[in-house]
Amino acid sequence: MLQHSICTQASFYYRIFNSNGVEVEQCGNGARCIAYYLFLKKKIDKKKICVSTKNRYLFLEHVKNNIFKIDMGEPVFTPKNIPFLCTSEQSSYSIIIHGINYFIYVVTIGNPHCIIQVDDIECVNVKKIGSELSTHSCFPEGVNVGFMQVISKKKILLRVYERHVGETHACGSGACAAVAIGIRNKILSNNVVVTLLYGQLTISWSGLLGHSLYMSGEAVHVYDGIITF
């Protein structure tokens, strides 16, 4: 079901495919890129528009220059909506893989995320743990796995293993998921700077259910091209 049902007339609809051809529900970084593309190509003449993806509406706002703010909707922690198979909803969960017990948090920001808090993301085997969790039977549709290191209540470091893809240089929805988990568990403040391998994002959320989470960051034009078949 599309969220933000009040937006009955989206200006644009778009689809997102990973490099292996698998279509995904939505992509936070992709939303900023779409926003910048529409602005760059003069497809829009106002600062804020509504667009739709496979399962939700998003509001894209041009802040200034190449900075865009995305209304990502409400984080959802209900297991069946992620989906995550468990007996009851909890603030955190435990999964044992090869005799190792992992404490995880789960949330959907339009796509499923599993977050693990770590002491040092440089010492984590992101590929091994990420691949095992992303295909775990508790996640029937797979899951993106985020490894979060808390620097302060206003700053975190994050690495993300995306389902079907592997570790990526950055993940916008993963940043949103990590901050939502941190705010929900009173680890983080309501405005957090997330540092990923290839850039930073600012995530804001009031922490109240029914309220949207916002992601702000840059988008950069790399090149134009033509695809011939």
pLDDT tens-digit map of 86-119: 999 999 999 999 899 999 999 999 999 999 999 9
Residues 67 and 99 in one domain: no
Two tokens at 131?
């691949």
* Residues known to be catalytic: 27, 171
Q: What is the pLDDT of residues 182-204, one digit of tens each?
A: 999 999 999 999 999 999 999 99
Number of domains in the chain: 2
| pLDDT tier, 18 (very low <50, low <70, confident <90, very high otherwise) | confident
Residues 6 or more apart whose CB falls under 8 angstroms from that of 78 comprise 89
CB-CB contact of 114 with 62 (8 Å):
no
Where is pLDDT greater, at 145 or 57?
145
pTM (two decimals): 0.91
Two tokens at 148?
């979060």
Task: Decide if 84 is inside a domain.
Answer: yes
| pLDDT tier, 1 (very low <50, low <70, confident <90, very high otherwise) | very low
Residues 102 and 176 in one domain: yes
Which residue range forms the structural domain that includes residue 38? 12-71
Residues 38 and 140 in one domain: no
Residues 96 and 64 in one domain: no
Residues 87 and 187 in one domain: yes
Residues 84 and 188 in one domain: yes
Residues 118 and 59 in one domain: no
Two tokens at 185?
């568990």
